[in-house]
A = this chain, B = another copy of it.
Amino acid sequence: MPIYKAPVEDTLFVLYDVLKMDGYGNLPGFADAPRDLVEAVLGEGARICEEVIQPLNVVGDTVGCKRNDDGSVTTPPGFKEAYKQYREGGWMALSFDPAYGGQGLPLTLNAAIGEYLSSSNLAWGMYPGLTQGAMAALYVHANDEIKQTYLPKMATGEWTGTMNLTEPHCGTDLGLLRSKAVPNGDGSYSITGQKIFISAGEHDMSDNIVHLVLARIEGAPAGTKGISLFVVPKFLPKADGTAGERNPLSCGKIEEKMGIHGNSTCVMNYDGAKGWLVGEANKGLNAMFVMMNEARMSVGIQGLSQSEAAYQNAVAYAKDRLQGRSLSGPKAPDKPADPIIVHPDVRRTLMTIRAINEAGRALMLWTALQADISHRSEDAAEKQKAEDHMGLMTPIVKGVLTDLGFDNAVKAQQMYGGHGYINEWGMGQFVRDARITMIYEGANGIQALDLVGRKLGANGGRAIMTFFNEVGTFCAQNKDDAALGPMIGALSKGLKDLQAATMWFMQNAMAKPDNAGAGSTPYMHLFGLVAMGYMWARMARTAQEKLAEGADERMTAKLATARFFFEQLMPESGAHLARVTAGADSMMALPAEAF
């Protein structure tokens, strides 16, 4: 059985030592969350994840969700009971507006616990995760009546939420969507159409399921400008607020898929189901984007989560499995062989995963903190800067942490040799579950295009210039430090490569847009590398400061891991730059028929 222990100490290191979260007492919710409360919440979140939710991970994979003949869906054994504990613990609305039953704590805290939750059980975590995304969209775009009807029930977790975008013929290109909405004359609409890949679309864990559905109002323009967002509940709310009459919508099928078997991925059929408009007509994509940005951050965290869970297991195995002798002489001469953690190539793998996880965690929490600032600050300049940061970093957190998270799960599985390939040790599940994170909420190629095509140039490049300045200033301030110097040198080189790649796009993508598309994926990874490098540089400086106060093995390990990152992972930046600046020609030279 796989193990998992939530990295609470590391979360606290990032939040308080690196990001100085205790300096944000001016933000609503932060003053109510002093460090001791945060520690208690993280500790309790860790406990429920480790003790209640993680033990259901394997059974979720092996038993999966079952659609019954009446269209209802039975979740794996234990899922429902764990959900009851989770929602009764108030976890669903930890950071949500108290006006609707939330606890108003920082989003950053919710993100930290989101990592533990997904590490424990990715498929399970999607049920509350999608609900939180739906709540965010309703909160920003729905009218008061809808908010009052749905949000308090969702905040307690009695009702869960979903997002319904994809149709068989349209995924990325939502302009093609065909689901129809016909006004009923009473302010409601009748929704008809088929949606696919609807995570948590039908299940037995909550009293009601609140579907957010993209559809086209009869007579609306074609393309993306004719799409509206509707709230379409499984049961129509009664006047007393409880779930009433069944709405004509149903799960037609559960998809058989590679992983996340514990989550019901449904084909949803809407057969004239009653729904209400969320936000303005024909502006559904804007409303959905709120949900999608939340969701993209969450998916990035999921990528990190699988990498972390797989890492912890690989470490335990590498310390335990005896095979071969160290190249530098036996390390466990009393045993028939040394534990494989003595082998440098095993170390390379473990250090790689570790270096990415710790930097990924810092990057994710840094970005979550910007979400708090952007939502809660009353300082316009601070707010704008935080929004810029989030816009820029969302595709990176999503695209880079999931690509690397999957790679790392594969690497961790590799540590087990043949034992990693059989189900017994559970390593294959991390790989199969992590795989979806590269795909959903916008496949990673789309994240890269969003970054290059939309985020880089937004507001005259304001966001990226701010990032360049911040990293450049940090490098300038620390380059002469004896210990940090070599790391700063590597980071500066990476930054220079990133700036050169950015400049290349400015000069070559306008006249020939294919150049932007061609370089987008290596650019996103180059950006991710520099962003993680910046996190490592900041963590290394912090570690050094703490070491100056006294010996601390954890801080020594931070410095060693930082060094590994800069020596072994950062050199990739030059290759990425070369890929970007080679341009589109070699990719586009062949006619489609030549493939």
**Interface set of A (CB-CB < 8 Å, partner B):** 166, 169-173, 175-176, 196-197, 255-259, 265, 315, 318-319, 322-324, 327-328, 336-337, 339, 341-351, 354, 406, 410, 413-414, 417-424, 428, 431-432, 435-436, 438-440, 443-445, 448-449, 512-518, 520-521, 553, 556-557, 560-561, 563-564, 567-568, 571-572, 574-575, 578-579, 582, 584, 586-590, 592, 594-595
Give chain B residues whose Cβ lies under 8 Å from the Cβ of A255.
422-424
Give chain B residues whose Cβ lies under 8 Å from the Cβ of A323.
170-173, 176
A341 to B255, CA, bound (A): 26
Q: Are B588 and A347 in contact (CB under 8 A)?
A: yes
Nearest residue in B to A572 (C-beta to C-beta)?
B575
Out of B343, B512, B582, name the residue touching A517 (CB < 8 Å). Answer: B343
Out of B339, B431, B436, B587, name the residue touching A258 (CB < 8 Å). Answer: B431
Nearest residue in B to A565 (C-beta to C-beta)?
B586
Contacts A176-B336, A417-B171, A587-B564 given: A517-B594 contact, CB under 8 Å? no
Nearest residue in B to A259 (C-beta to C-beta)?
B421
A265 to B422, CA, bound (A): 10
Give chain B residues whose Cβ lies under 8 Å from the Cβ of A259.
421
Question: Interface of chain A, helix or strand or loop or mixed?
Answer: helix
Give chain B residues whose Cβ lies under 8 Å from the Cβ of A444.
414
What's the nearest-Cβ distance from chain B to residue A391, in Å? Answer: 20
Contacts A414-B445, A518-B348 given: A339-B586 contact, CB under 8 Å? no
Q: Are B448 and A327 in contact (CB under 8 A)?
A: no
Nearest residue in B to A423 (C-beta to C-beta)?
B256
What's the nearest-Cβ distance from chain B to residue A285, in Å? Answer: 14
Q: Are B438 and A414 in contact (CB under 8 A)?
A: yes
A594 to B559, CA, bound (A): 12
Nearest residue in B to A559 (C-beta to C-beta)?
B589
Nearest residue in B to A436 (C-beta to C-beta)?
B421
Q: What 10 A-B pairs come out closest when comparing CB atoms?
A: A344-B517, A571-B578, A327-B513, A344-B518, A567-B582, A258-B428, A564-B586, A560-B589, A347-B587, A173-B323
Out of B175, B258, B419, B448, name the residue touching A423 (CB < 8 Å). Answer: B258
Q: Are A557 and B345 in contact (CB under 8 A)?
A: no
Nearest residue in B to A440 (C-beta to C-beta)?
B418
A156 to B311, CA, bound (A): 47
A313 to B592, CA, bound (A): 14
Q: Are A417 and B439 in contact (CB under 8 A)?
A: yes
Give chain B residues whose Cβ lies under 8 Å from the Cβ of A567.
578-579, 582, 586
Contacts A439-B418, A567-B586 given: A595-B315 contact, CB under 8 Å? yes
Give chain B residues whose Cβ lies under 8 Å from the Cβ of A557.
590, 594
Q: Are B568 and A418 in contact (CB under 8 A)?
A: no
A422 to B257, CA, bound (A): 4
Give chain B residues whose Cβ lies under 8 Å from the Cβ of A578.
567, 571
Out of B258, B428, B438, B521, name the residue touching A345 (CB < 8 Å). Answer: B521
Q: Are B345 and A445 in contact (CB under 8 A)?
A: yes
Q: Are A445 and B258 in contact (CB under 8 A)?
A: no
